[in-house]
Amino acid sequence: MTKYDELTEFLLRLGDSALIQAQRLCEWTGRAPALEEEMGMMNVGLDLVGQARNWYEYAAERINDGTDADTLAFRRDERAFRNLLLVEQPNGDFAVTMTKQFFYDAWQFHLLTMLKGANDERIAAIAAKSLKEVTYHLRRSSQWVERLGDGTEESHQRMEKAVDIVWRFTFELVEKNDAELALSESGHIPALTELPEQWLATVNEVFAKATLTLPDAPNTFYLSARTGMHSEHLGTLLAEMQFLQRAYPDASW
Amino acid sequence: MQAGELITTDQQGRSGSEADIQQAYSVLEDVMDPEVPVVSVMDLGIVRDVSWADGHLYVVVTPTYSGCPATEYIETSIRDALQDAGFSHPKVSQRLDPAWTTDWITEQGRSRLKAYGIAPPVGSSNKRSLLSGITQVECPNCGSEDTEQLSEFGSTACKSLYRCKSCLEPFDYFKCI
């Protein structure tokens, strides 16, 4: 059950995923294990907020009913969000946070690389811009997965546990989807058919260096970002993120 | 010409001349980046076009990073500076494509960054490979090449944090994108 046309839904999927991932990163403010890592996470978060805004602005123009980027971020309910289930999961420890970040970065990296060649010029421009930033994000999160996986006995165990916790939500990163197929057939975006294989190849490569075992392919289950059927964690995240704009609509300072 | 005269004439939709464009560029040379106040928007290469249309000056800027909090501040500074210089209602707009690259930072910008204690971007953004992006960064304080990266990300999105192993000073490196 979707409200908008396929292209707008696709833009929301990109924008919402970036925004929710950024909001999770912000939760580390003042609590990160090291100051440098805190700055790193905030910088990645900042890039993602900017990317979300670019996708939202395009989506808002298509919706064309007075909606703007802020409305999309702060005035929609849980069921209207199209972000990946992966990014709404709680941060857990640093290992869980970095595992989520790595899976998401690898997905963004390959997806944006493909979208850079989109016929839709706006999508191509946002993708090209974002990709530059995401290349850095992926480099950093890959390095952490390697360093923790191939680190001490405890860091290795924690990484394995993190993969156990997060892996089941990655089915969304490797599923084929009719809406996206239709978008590529109508010429808006390139075919994304190789995205699952490319994502998996990157994960495989980094896991090998990190001495981590790649789990079996994840099973699809009843939750789905595409229909707004989220896990229980998105609602509480939005309650915090949207509080100010909900309590004081159109507040500015 | 007095500033007031220009404002009146701009509102009447006068047509701009090459001299106006040149004047606008020289005004932009003095609009500084709020985070790194020694480099101007011209040094950073974020001003992509200055033109005259419909009786107004149009300036096109490209953001450095998608989430750079300074983008709007910079746009406002540009508008204010041009207005102070006598241009009436200058229009500042954003352009995403082609995406900004550190290759556009001018030589003057690079030497100003270095003098300010920030190592300028090394090499071209085209040659950087994804997972082997290790570059030799020269310490802006003592010139030594014996430096190490402390963190992929520094005090702002555009910088990473380094330390010089010769003079032991930490410093920011302007990342190559």
Is residue A91 within 8 Å of A24, Cβ to Cβ? yes
The residue of chain B with its CA nearest to that of A22 is B67
Query: For the segment A82-133, what is each residue's pLDDT rounded down to a tens digit?
Result: 999 999 999 999 999 999 999 999 999 999 999 999 999 999 999 999 999 9
* pLDDT value of residue A199: 97
* CA A252 vs CA A18, A69, A70, A245, B87: distances in Å: 23, 15, 12, 9, 29
Nearest CB partner across the interface for A47, out of B96, B131, B157: B157
- CB neighbours of residue A120 within 10 Å: 18
Q: What's residue B131's pLDDT?
A: 45
> Whole-angstrom Cα distance, residue A120 to residue A114?
12
d(CA A103, CA A99): 6
Q: Using one digit for the tens of pLDDT, what is the confidence trace for B27-73?
A: 999 999 998 899 999 999 999 999 998 888 999 999 998 888 888 89
Asked whether the ipTM of the predicted complex exceeds the cut of 0.90, the reply is no
| A54, closest residue in chain B (CA to CA) | B66
CB A86 within 8 A of CB A103: yes
Q: Please judge whether A125 and B99 are an interchain contact, meaning their C-beta atoms are less than 8 angstroms apart.
A: yes
Give domain limits for chain B. Answer: 3-94, 109-174
Give the CATH fold of the B3-94 domain: GMP Synthetase; Chain A, domain 3 (3.30.300)
Quick one: what percent of chain B has pLDDT higher than 70? 85
> Which alpha helices (H) appear in chain B, and where do they start and end?
3-11, 18-28, 41-44, 70-84, 107-115
Q: How confident is the model at residue B4 (pLDDT cuts 50, 70, 90)?
A: very low
Give per-residue pLDDT as tens, A17-39: 999 999 999 999 999 988 889 99
Task: Give the model confidence (pLDDT) of A172-181 as tens digits.
Answer: 999 888 889 9
Residue B11's pLDDT band, with cuts at 50, 70 and 90, is low
Contacts 24+ apart (CB under 8 A), B144-150: B149/B173, B150/A36
Superfamily of domain A6-213+222-247: Ferritin, core subunit, four-helix bundle (1.20.1260.10)
Phi/psi of residue B52, each to 5°? -120, 125
Nearby residues of A17 by Cβ (< 8 Å), 6 or more positions away? A82, A83, A84, A87, A104, A225
Whether residues A40 and B153 touch (CB distance < 8 A) is answered with: yes
What's the pLDDT tens digit per position in A202-249?
Answer: 999 999 999 999 999 898 888 988 889 999 999 999 999 999 999 999
Look at B153 and A36 and tell me if their CB atoms are within 8 Å: yes
Q: What is the mean pLDDT of residues A195-199?
A: 96
Average pLDDT of the residues of chain B = 86
Q: A2-11, B78-87, B126-135: lowest mean pLDDT where?
A: B126-135
Measure the CA dihedral A241/A32/A148/B174, to 10°. Answer: 90
- How confident is the model at residue B5, as a pLDDT? 47
pLDDT exceeds 70 at position B170: yes
List the single residue in B69, B96, B125 with the smallest CB-CB distance to A129: B96
Nearest by CB to A135, from B63, B66, B130: name it: B130
Taking 50 as the threshold, does the pLDDT of residue B1 lie above it? Answer: no
Per-residue confidence (pLDDT) for residue B68, from 0 to 100: 84
Amino acid at position B153, single letter = F
Instruction: Please tell me the distance in Å from B72's CA to the nearest CA on chain A.
Output: 12
Q: Phi then psi for A68, rounded to 5 degrees? A: -125, -175
The mean per-residue pLDDT over the stretch A159-188 comes to 94
